[in-house]
Amino acid sequence: MITRRSALSVAVATTGVGLTGAALAPLVAANSTPANPAAAPAAAQPAAPAAVEKFRRPMPLLPVKRPLGTAGRADVYEMTIKPARAEILPGIHTDVLTYDGHFPGPLIKARTGRPVVIRQRNRLTVPTAVHLHGAAVRPDSDGDPMDVIAPGADRVYHYPNRQPHAPLWFHDHAHHLEAENTYRGLSGSYLLTDATERALPLPAGRYEVVIALRDARFDDQGQLAYAMGDRARNTLLANGVPYPYFEVAARKYRLRLLNASNQRRFDLRLADGGPLVQIGSDGGLLAAPHTTDHVPLSAGERADVVVDFSRYPVGTSVVLKNTNGPGPAEETGEVLRFDVVRTADDPSRIPARLRTLPPLPRPDAERAVVLRMDEGGEHPGAYIDEKTYDPERVDAFVKFGTSEIWTVTNANARAEHNFHLHLVQFRVLERDGRPPQPGESGLKDTVFLAPGETVRLQAVFDTYRGRYVYHCHMFEHGARGMMATMHIR
Ligand code: C2O
Ligand code: CU
Ligand code: CU
């Protein structure tokens, strides 16, 4: 079914440190491109090249979205959700779905205590719902799967920003469409900051960079090929560009990493094994920095990592590698390359204590949640507690103002899952009976579950009442039914 074209071999001059193997990533061409109603047929385009040359284009910064104005204490935004064409592959215009024409979507900068109001204008031919992942918002602004914006309609979302700082992101959540809509480009970033975070002497300004990572598969016309559960998405994109380079100064940078893939889990490391200092995760800063040589990131998760490029001489480079499949290492083993091009002053520091995490109250209730999907079969079912998502059904009633421990199990022998709760930032108490990994010891909204694993987490439900979903954040599992509803009342 899938024909892999042979990789061209081209000598690329590099002065890089740790630049490994092939400098070319072959594209995987396939013959099946499901119809996308929003994408016009790509006529009169050159065929996609057989390979994308790595490290030839710079990684763009996400465009920062500016508010239209203010209303009371709120920043007011307007965004148009529309089809567009993006030059993802050199010389080729790829049909994408966008927030405001950007692939990936823009970056919204918000502050705790200052609400954001966004009018979203749906100019797609399909319904969409906008979900601000990781945020505590009222149910009617949560982008519930059934609460969609019809084509041509507008919808105003209210984000109160009453929670502490956190690297949030937004994406499509329309029932059964979220996987394809998000894949085609409907995701963006939302950095919520607060006084606690800003008081720290961490790298900031141009030395704080959001990097949205994902995978994709292009057909031989250079169009995004979408198939549910596709394991051949072997082109990696950083801020919308395949295998870019990013010029840095020889000093510390704070990298705000997001895995916006539909299903891929990354395991990121520097090619020379150099240190990555993880300072934060989904729900903001960790209590203390954690120095490691790799950062795992499942779909939907975020990691806040400081890299000190002063250990590299000016004129050298270091590749950010990914050591987790699927896909051959020459296609999915390298993500981007940092090129150290100049020196710079560096007054930034990583304090030994970053924040005080809110204390966990005594839990009021416990419940168990089991994630499972059929392994094999053309249309595998996907379940939470052996039930497929039914938006009419409430699966968990939670008493407002209480705290619960959820024991979440991946009942599969081979399939990976992860688990995302809307509305709350939780704490991971245990992973398979052991303490959480250091990188997941802070506030989280999405947690990885290897086959057979069990994670115990605790959340406090004291912000809003109403119905919210929880699901596997491998979008294609959620879209197949691995999603359920809780009602906080
Ligand atoms: Cu990013 Cu329902 O999730
Ligand atoms: Cu979410
Ligand atoms: Cu899953």
Query: 3, exposed or middle or buried, with CB in 10 Å at 0-12, 13-18, 19+?
Result: exposed
Q: Are residues 292 and 421 in the same domain?
A: no
Distance CA 332, CA 386 (A): 34
The contacts of residue 38 (CB under 8 Å, 6+ apart) are 83, 95, 97, 124, 125, 126, 184
Run of H or E including 98:
strand 94-99
* 258 neighbors 28 (Cβ within 8 angstroms): no
pTM of the model: 0.91
What is the distance in A from the centroid of ligand 3 to the CA of 298? Answer: 11
Last residue of one domain, picked from the residues 343, 375, 397: 343
Residues 6+ apart with CB under 8 A from 170: 99, 105, 108, 130, 131, 132, 133, 143, 187, 188, 189, 190
Q: What letter represents residue 316's amino acid?
A: T
* 359 domain residue, yes or no: no
Check whether residue 210 and residue 188 sit in a common domain: no
With respect to residue 243, please indicate whether it lies within any of the assigned structural domains: yes
Give the 3-state secondary structure of 294-346.
Answer: CEEECCCCEEEEEEEHHHCCCCCEEEEEECCCCCCHHHHCEEEEEEEEEECCC
Q: What angle do CA 31, 32, 34 make, to 5 degrees?
A: 150
**With a 6 A CB cut-off, is 422 part of the ligand 1 pocket?**
yes
Residue 357 belongs to a domain: no
**Torsion sign, CA atoms 227, 128, 467, 456:** positive
164 and 285 together in one domain: no
Domain residues for the domain of 283 are 205-343
Place of tokens 């802070």: 442
Q: Count CA atoms within 13 Å of residue 206 on its CB side.
A: 9
| Residue with the two structure tokens 């080729």 | 92
Tokens of residue 322, six digits = 């990914």
Asked whether residue 456 is assigned to any structural domain, the reply reads yes
| Residue 356, in any domain of the structure | no
Q: Examine the fold and report which residue of 137, 165, 195 is the final residue of a domain before the chain moves on.
A: 195
Say yes or no: CB of residue 420 within 6 Å of ligand 1.
yes
Question: Hey, CA dihedral for 247, 250, 253, 258, is it positive or negative?
Answer: positive
**Structurally, how many domains does the chain consist of?**
3
Residue at 157: amino acid letter: Y
Calpha distance 212→223 (Å, rounded): 20
Please tell me what DSSP assigns to residue 179. H
Q: What is the per-residue DSSP string for 435-450?
A: PPPGGGSSEESEEEE-
Together in a domain, 443 and 316:
no
Domain end call among 195, 224, 259 = 195
Residue 49 counted as domain residue: no
* Residue 245: CATH number of its domain: 2.60.40.420
33 and 106 both lie in a single domain: yes
Looking at residue 83, its pLDDT comes to 98
Beta carbons of 65 and 108 less than 8 angstroms apart:
yes
Strand spans (E) along 391-453: 396-398, 402-410, 417-421, 426-431, 443-444, 446-449
Q: Determine contact, residues 38/85, Cβ cutoff 8 Å.
A: no
158 assigned to some structural domain? yes
Give the pLDDT score at 48. Answer: 56
Ligand closest to CA 372: 3
Report d(CA 10, CA 32) in Å as an integer. Answer: 29
| 369 and 483, same domain (yes or no) | yes
Write down the pLDDT at residue 46. Answer: 54
Question: What six digits make up the tokens of 449?
Answer: 């579950």
* CA-based torsion, 99, 100, 104, 107: positive or negative: negative
Q: Tell me, in angstroms, the distance from the centre of ligand 1 to residue 148's CA.
A: 14
**Per-residue pLDDT tens listing for the chain (489 residues):** 333 333 322 222 233 333 333 333 333 333 333 334 344 444 445 555 557 899 999 999 999 999 999 999 999 999 999 999 999 999 999 999 999 999 999 999 999 999 999 999 999 999 999 999 999 999 999 999 999 999 999 999 999 999 999 999 999 999 999 999 999 999 999 999 999 999 999 999 999 999 999 999 999 999 999 999 999 999 999 999 999 999 999 999 999 999 999 999 999 999 999 999 999 999 999 999 999 999 999 999 999 999 999 999 999 999 999 999 999 999 999 999 999 999 999 999 999 999 999 999 999 999 999 999 999 888 899 999 999 999 999 999 999 999 999 999 999 999 999 999 999 999 999 999 999 999 999 999 999 999 999 999 999 999 999 999 999 999 999 999 999 999 999
Residue 176 tokens read as 């059964």
Do 81 and 191 fall into the same domain? yes
Q: State whether the beta carbon of 269 lies less than 6 angstroms from ligand 1.
A: no
For residue 360, being part of any structural domain is answered with no
* Cβ proximity of 485 and 393 under 8 Å: yes
Same domain, 479 and 333: no
Residue nearest to atom 1 of ligand 1 (CA): 133
Same structural domain, 376 and 484: yes
Backbone dihedral region for residue 114 (phi beyond 0: left; psi -120 to 50: alpha; all else: beta): beta
Residue 116 · residue 60 · CB < 8 Å? no
Q: Looking at the structure, tell me whether residues 425 and 466 fall in a common domain.
A: yes
Cα–Cα distances in Å, from 243 out to 233, 290, 328, 341, 369? 14, 27, 15, 18, 38
Residues 211 and 337 reside in one and the same domain: yes
Atom 3, ligand 1: which residue's CA is nearest? 133
Rg of the chain's alpha carbons, rounded to an integer?
Answer: 21
Could you tell me if the CB of 214 is within 6 A of ligand 1? no
DSSP 141: G
Q: Please tell me whether residues 132 and 216 are part of one structural domain.
A: no
468 CA from centroid of ligand 1 (Å): 10
Contact 382, 472 (CB under 8 A): yes
User: Is there an atom of ligand 1 within 6 Å of 256 CB?
Assistant: no
What is the bridge-based pairing of β-strands 483-488 and 466-471? antiparallel
